[in-house]
Amino acid sequence: GNVFEPVQNLADAVDFSGALRTLAVTLTRICNDLRLLASGPSSGFDEIRFSPAQPGSSIMPGKVNPVYAELLNMTCFHVMGCDLTVMLAGQAGQLEVNVMMPILAHNLFEAMHVFIPSIRLFTERGVRLIEANRKKAASTVAKNAVLATALNPVVGYLKAAEIAKEASERDMSIRDVVIERGILTPEKADEVLDARGMTEGGIRAPDGAPDKSDKKSEGGG
């Protein structure tokens, strides 16, 4: 709209660099979340597994490192550093001369040069090959005190809290505790403590409204 504005300053380039930085911040958080969830198997969360990309770590043969998450993390740090240079170069263009444009342009192109392929590698060889550790997940859910909430309508809040505490202290599943104590039969325990049913059973419609929980959304979800 005003041809003098982009000549007077380099704000558009700084804005673009800032967008890359924001994306880098978000992707770093995602990478770190996945690295934590994949930590293990002897310790850590061990909830997901990355596909092996190396024979092992530099000091531990056979260890599966989250190398593509770490690759993208390092790239994100580099992009953040490039953004700092772009920001400083943008504000150093006194009297509309903008003498720092060469280093600004260099860092923008370098940020894209390393960012784009790293995101692609992380997606194709990292995220899309992640597998859930189903055995660990099932064990974690079975021992999670949240399942005791489903016992409230059956045994009451205080008894449910007592069961949850005992399960935690004895490192047992909620199901095993209620069966051992004769509170529920195995069949009834499976029905009441069905975690999959709790999470995939849909949302109950308000009174008088049709229940559409079993229908797919228009978007095909």
Q: How far apart are CA 163 and CA 160, in angstroms?
A: 5
List the catalytic residue out of 39, 51, 57, 217: 57
SS3 annotation, the chain: CCCHHHHHCCHHHHHHHHHHHHHHHHHHHHHHHHHHHCCCCCCCCCCEECCCCCCECCCCECCCCCHHHHHHHHHHHHHHHHHHHHHHHHHCCHHHCCCCHHHHHHHHHHHHHHHHHHHHHHHHHHHHHCEECHHHHHHHHHHCHHHHHHHHHHHCHHHHHHHHHHHHHHCCCHHHHHHHCCCCCHHHHHHHCCHHHHHHCCCCCCCCCCCCCCCCCCCCC
| Residue 51 appears among annotated catalytic residues | no
- Which distant-in-sequence residues (6+ apart) come within 8 Å of 72 by Cβ? 27, 28, 31, 118, 119, 121, 122, 126
Residue 13's CB is within 10 A of a number of other CB atoms, namely 20
Active site residues per annotation? 57
